[in-house]
Amino acid sequence: MPIKSRIRTIPNYPIEGVMFRDVTTLMLDPVGFRKTIDELVQPHAGVKIDKVAGIEARGFILGGAVAHQLSVGFVPVRKKGKLPWETISKEYDLEYGTDTVEIHKDAVLPGENVLLVDDLIATGGTACAAIDLIQRAGGNVTACSFIVDLPDLGGRAKIVARDIPILTLCEFEGD
């Protein structure tokens, strides 16, 4: 069962011309979801990872499951203003403006190895901002894992340029 076949494509969402890759259909499928988590975990089994960081919102679901399987802690990477304690933040560029992500200032300790997880890598803006936060906290991003890569948008290349290994389970051409 190819994972890609379980991902729904929604044309013209959220704006005209965008092909939205909806992984919720994959998550609804118990076999597909289990296979996805297993494939996200397997390359990291036996590797020293202290925490898994997941990017809001689908990265919470995936990252939480991966952290559970690896028996490590979980760090939520949230949009600005959503975390209840002291945070560090990183603003990043979007196609139509800017956004900001945050982590609690004590979520990652100096020297900890962190695996970053999200559903999709597109332009890489959010992922690179999350990497910056983890590194600013003193953590080492050992790898990034995503279900979907949209290679035409260049996000993978931005992470590779930082010498961080990246795992994706499937890719879709275009945006």
> Which has the higher per-residue pLDDT, 18 or 91?
91
pLDDT tens sequence across 95-135: 678 999 999 999 999 999 999 999 999 999 999 999 999 99
Distance CA 51, CA 66 (A): 10
The percent of residues above 90 in pLDDT, for the chain, comes to: 93
**pLDDT for 94 beyond 80:** no
Catalytic sites, residue numbers: 58, 95
Distance CA 175, CA 169 (A): 17
**pLDDT for 175 beyond 70:** no
Express the helix, strand and coil content of the chain in percent, nearest 5 each: 35, 35, 30
Q: What does CATH list as the number for 48-171?
A: 3.40.50.2020
pTM over 0.85: yes
Q: What are the backbone dihedrals phi and psi of residue 12, each rounded to the nearest 5 degrees, phi first?
A: 60, 40
Distance CA 89, CA 150 (A): 26
Q: Where are the domains of the chain?
A: 48-171
pLDDT tens sequence across 58-93: 999 999 999 999 999 999 999 999 999 999 999 998
- Residue 168: the pLDDT is 98
Residue 113 tokens, joined: 């190895």
> What size, in residues, is the chain?
175
Kind of pairing between the strands at 19-22 and 8-11: antiparallel
Could you tell me how many helices (H) and strands (E) the chain has, helices first? 5, 9
- Residue 21: the pLDDT is 96
pLDDT class of 162 with cuts at 50, 70, 90: very high
